Amino acid sequence: MTNLKKLGLTALAGSLVATTAYAGALDVSGAAKVSYSSGNNGADNGNPFSMTRDITFSGSGEMDNGMSVSYFQMLSAGSISSSGITIDMGDAGTATFMNGASGGHGIAAYEDKVPNAAEQVWDDLDGESNGVVSMNNANTFGYGTSFAGVNVSANYNKQTSGGSAYSIGLDFAPVDGAMLFLATSDKYAGPQATTDETTFGGTYTAGAVSVGIQRTNIDVSTVNGDADRTHLGASFAVNEDLSVSWGMSTVEFEDGSLSDQEDSGFSASYTMGSMSLTAAMNSSDNVSGASGTDDEHKEIGLAFAF
């Protein structure tokens, strides 16, 4: 029995050595953030302190044909939150397979392009999903390339319900400091039903100031279910470490009985090496079109990257 064990271990060791010769290396990075947040009008929402902790494993290698392959896997609080494979084909573009992330392809990459220092003006509010584009990013294929100065990307997701979703987005810089973008998607929403989304806008940076405007249209099959969002904002880099921003958005509902939802927010960030201190204050009037229903969110966070 002892000899058999030695033989097995020797064979295993030889197998591991042979495998290692073709294996790449994984790099590890991480981030931790401690936050204090308060809800609407100081309402008691439990312990206001929280902590996010992320660890990301990433690696890459080059194939014989010159293409490169990279992989990442992020763990949030010990559980896999996102992962993905990217094949860089040089001038032929990049192909991705993502789970829990967009990979920078399709409409999800244009969810909100308006400049901000720390948080979008709708983030963490009760009506944050109104008028904001979305795309199922579970096991989604993506592709992106550039030609004639235009960046084009698309993605495709096969849903377990039998339907599918796809989107395409593009952006280009007409002049230095400016970017114009357009993205659209079509998503399965049940038998004989789809949700169509379109978002477009532009940003411009001159010196320390960045401004942006974005318009989003969401067309659903449900009667009176459409929503349109107009969002604008600006950020200012006080110096290389400190930035501040302000923004506002208005969501108009197809249902005439609903009032416009109006969101606004202010945020700031200060970075010193691997440490960043952020603060944000967002508020919303007429949440989801309900007149007189308001919400607000304040948050301060201290984050470290390593």
Tell me the average pLDDT across 88-98: 96
What is d(CA 294, CA 261) in angstroms, rounded to the nearest whole number?
9
pLDDT given for residue 5 in this prediction: 37
Q: What whole-number distance in Å separates Cα of residue 92 and Cα of residue 162?
A: 31
Select from 229, 234, 219 the least CA-distant residue to 250. Answer: 229
Q: What is the pLDDT of residues 164-196, one digit of tens each?
A: 999 999 999 999 999 999 999 999 888 878 899
pLDDT of residue 231: 97
Domain of 51, in residue numbers: 24-305
Q: Report residue 189 CA to chain centroid gap.
A: 22
292 or 25, higher pLDDT:
292
Taking the mean position of all CA atoms in its chain, how far away is CA 292? Answer: 31
| d(C-alpha 287, C-alpha 260), whole Å | 8
Evaluate whether residue 15 is within a structural domain: no
Looking at the domain assignment, is residue 5 inside a domain? no
Kindly state whether residue 186 falls inside one of the protein's structural domains: yes
d(CA 208, CA 192) in angstroms, rounded, equals: 49
pLDDT beyond 70 at 301: yes
Question: What is d(CA 121, CA 250) in angstroms, rounded to the nearest whole number?
Answer: 11
Query: Which of 5-19, 48-62, 149-163, 215-229 has the weakest average pLDDT?
Result: 5-19
CATH number at residue 156: 2.40.160.10
Q: The whole model's pTM is what?
A: 0.87
What share of the chain has pLDDT > 90, as a percent? 76
The confidence score (pLDDT) of residue 192 equals 77
Residue 258 lies in a domain: yes
- pLDDT score for 26: 86
What's the pLDDT tens digit per position in 227-254?
999 999 999 999 999 999 999 999 999 9
Total structural domains in the chain?
1
* Beta-ladder partners of 84: 72, 98
Asked if residue 247 is part of any domain, the answer here is yes
pLDDT per residue over 13-62, tens digit each? 444 444 444 456 789 999 999 999 987 755 556 889 999 999 999 999 99
pLDDT at residue 210 tops 90: yes
The residue whose two tokens read 């969101």 is 263
Look at residue 1 and tell me if it is in a domain: no
Burial class of residue 35 in the structure, from the number of CB atoms within 10 Å of its CB (0-12 exposed, 13-18 middle, 19+ buried): middle
Please report, as a single letter, which amino acid is at residue 169.
G
> How far is residue 96's CA from residue 104's CA, in Å, rounded to a whole number?
9
Mean pLDDT, rounded, of the chain: 90
